[in-house]
Structure formats: structure tokens, C-alpha cells
Amino acid sequence: MKNIKFLIFGILFGIILSKTEVVSWYRIYEMFKFQSFHMYGVIGSAVTIGIILMQLFKRGIVKDYLGNQINIKEKKSGFIRTLIGGTIFGLGWALAGACPGPMFVLIGHGAVSILIVLLGAIIGAFFYGLLSKKLPN
Amino acid sequence: MEIILQPWPWYVGGPLIALILFLMFYFGKAFGVSTNLETFCTIGGAGKFSDYFKTDWKARKWSLIFVVGIIIGGFISSHYLMNSQVIDLNPETVSDLANIGFANAGETYLPQEIFATESIFTLKGFAILIGAGILIGFGARYSGGCTSGHSITGISSLQLPSLLATIGFFIGGIIMAWFIIPLLFERVIIY
């Protein structure tokens, strides 16, 4: 039951992504074509506020609900891993017009064909798991 | 109510996404979606093929529940919170898309040219959908996150790997939108 709040946050997040049109293939296409400010505004304003929030967490000004310091996990570093992995992700993001969050929103919209994209994404994650030790970082 | 039914501008959506980011951290978790793809593999028994998947997925139950919420949120918004699906696109985008064979750009959230249910049953249609998914899943896990984990959480916490990954997202996205999508969809014109 203590996880119910994450269900509610998920519902809110799904509604936000949907209403902001972030889940529309066209919004992603026009972003990569630099033909609209919309997506840059969404991500840019989220990041601007995010930077302030993270500083409040790091400096201990805002603690978590139990009063503990909030730690932000360090991302795995590696030049090739992030740049090449990121480029592969970007190719898929622009083609499907959806990253993993919006994929789930679109399943809620009833878009059947997105299930194939999700299946592909799970297969892709599986391939990565098989190859993870052999790939350069 | 009318304000809710209209599409939300970026200056409403962006700050609300930051609010979700705050809530996730405030309640002791992190903000990111793509790790769930690995969790699905683990639940599906991928641990038999690689130790990489031998993780305790029950510790990540909260994240699966978050994803279930996202699906419900998509359902609620599409059924009750939307007047129309029309996207107010730049006319330039509409004409660019018309040139490569996308009719009616912006009249629905998704182009029928890629997402019509029938396309699942054609070789090209299926290959595009599953191929896009494989690129997303592989790329997200190799780079260590997706838009929520890298571009939002990672950049907000001023992490270099996330900046590099986001640069990668744009390199890939630009190559796809400018060069590969036209090749995939442009109709051959016979004079």
C-alpha cells in the first residue's frame, strides 16, 4: 500500500505528458527539425526548475519525507557509452516519436501498434544485457 | 475545466514535470522510466541468459507501479481530458511531411503512416515499429537512461554523462528526422 503514491504520481505524469502533447510523434519530429519551440520549452523549463531542486537536495535544504538527506545517484560515466548509446536511442526516439515514458502513455491512449514498439524496446534492453560486458564504455 | 481540456502550453507542462521529479525524490526514489525495460526482462526470465538480469526486481516494484500509473494517466487523458487530438504544428512541418508522403499531419497525435494498426501486419510496417523499439531499448540501457533519467534528472544534477547522452539523443534524432525518415517514406515518383 505504501507504493500507492507512485501510482498516483504515474497517473499525473501520464496526464501531463499527454496534455502537453509530448507523446505526439509530430512534436518529436518538429523538435528534431527545429521547427517549433514547444519541446525545448517543456524540457528546458523542467530542467531549469530541476537544477534548483537538485541544489536544494544536495545542500540538504530540502530533505526527504523522513527527514533524510536526498542523494542523487551518479550516472555511469564513459564517453563511448553515453555518446554512442545516446545516438542509438535518438535514432529510435525520432522514428517512433516516443521515448519510454510516452510509450506507456500511448498504450493508455489505446494505440495498439505501440505495443510492438514496446516489445522492441524490451528486446533491445535484452540485447544490451547480453552484450553489456563486451561493449566499450 | 475548459483550460484543462485545451492542450497545455510548455510553461505549464515543463514545471509540472519538475513537480513529478520533486515528488519522486522527496519520497526517496528516482525519476526514470527506462530501467523498467530491464525489469521486464528480469521478470521474463532473462537471468537464464545473462547475469546482468539477475537483479531483485521486487526492490523496483515502485517503478513498475509508476509505469502502470502512466498507462492509466494516458487512458484518463485520452478519454476524459481532451477535446480534440489536433496538434497545432508549424505549417513548415506539415508541408515537409506532405512532401515525404505523410497526409493530414497534426490532425491526430500519431501519423497513420506509421501507427495504423494494419501496419503491424505488413513487413515494412512491423520492421519500422519493432526496429524503432530495439534502438530505443538498446540505446537507453547502453547510455544509462532515457529522456527522464538523463535529459531531465541527469542534466538537472549537472552530470556530464547525461549531457553527453543528450547530445547523442540529438545526433541520432537529427539523422533520423532529416535523412532516414525521408528515405523510409518518400514515395517513388515515376514521370
Give the closest-approach CA distance of B188 to chain A in angstroms: 20
Tell me the pLDDT of chain A averaged across its residues: 95
Q: What is the ipTM of this complex?
A: 0.95
* Secondary element (H or E) of residue A131: helix A114-131
Amino acid at site B3: I
Q: Is the pTM of this model over 0.90?
A: yes
pLDDT digit string, tens, across residues B141-178: 999 999 999 999 999 999 999 999 999 999 999 999 99
Q: What is the DSSP letter of B57?
A: G
* Interchain proximity A89–B146, CB inside 8 Å: yes
Positive/negative CA dihedral, A50, B175, A82, B42: positive
Positive/negative CA dihedral, A119, B43, B135, A12: positive
A112 CB near a chain B CB, below 8 Å?
A: yes
Helices vs. strands in chain B: H and E counts, helices first: 10, 0
pLDDT digit string, tens, across residues B58-117: 999 999 999 999 999 999 999 999 988 899 999 999 999 999 999 999 999 999 999 999
pLDDT digit string, tens, across residues A66-109: 999 999 988 888 899 999 999 999 999 999 999 999 999 999 99
DSSP of A29-88, one letter per residue? HHHHTT--SHHHHHHHHHHHHHHHHHHHHHTTSS--TTSPPPPPPPPPP-HHHHHHHHHH
Interface with A, mutate which of B135, B175, B183 (most A CBs under 10 A): B135
Positive/negative CA dihedral, B167, B169, B173, B175: positive
Q: Which three cell numbers stand for residue B115?
A: 501507427
Give the closest-approach CA distance of B187 to chain A in angstroms: 17
What's chain A's Rg over C-alpha atoms? 18
A71 CB near a chain B CB, below 8 Å?
A: no
Closest residue to A99, CB basis, from B87, B114, B147: B147
Using a CB-CB cut-off of 8 Å, the residues of chain B touching A35 are 89-90, 92-93, 96
- B70 and A18 Cβ atoms separated by less than 8 Å: no
Residue B184 has pLDDT above 80, yes or no: yes
- What is the pLDDT confidence band of residue A2, given thresholds at 50, 70 and 90? confident
Residue A134 has pLDDT above 90, yes or no: no
Chain A residue with Cα closest to B131: A120
- A56 and B21 Cβ atoms separated by less than 8 Å: no
- Of A103, A37, A23, A98, give the one whose Cα is nearest residue B109: A23
- B12 and B115 Cβ atoms separated by less than 8 Å: no
What's chain B's Rg over C-alpha atoms? 19
Q: In whole angstroms, what is the distance from residue A56 CA to residue A50 CA?
A: 10
A69 CB near a chain B CB, below 8 Å?
A: no
Q: What angle do CA A15, A20, A21 make, to 5 degrees?
A: 100
Using a CB-CB cut-off of 8 Å, the residues of chain B touching A90 are 139, 168-176
Q: In whole angstroms, what is the distance from residue A25 CA to residue B149 CA?
A: 20
Q: In whole angstroms, what is the distance from residue A99 CA to residue B63 CA?
A: 16
Q: What is the DSSP letter of B14?
A: H
Name every residue whose Cβ is closer than 8 Å to that of residue A54 and which is 6 or more positions away in sequence.
A72, B156, B157, B158
B103-to-A96, B106, B115, B127, B160 alpha-carbon distances in Å: 17, 9, 13, 21, 40
Q: In whole angstroms, what is the distance from residue B14 CA to residue A31 CA?
A: 15
A80 CB near a chain B CB, below 8 Å?
A: no
* Interchain proximity B33–A99, CB inside 8 Å: yes
Q: In whole angstroms, what is the distance from residue B126 CA to residue B119 CA?
A: 6
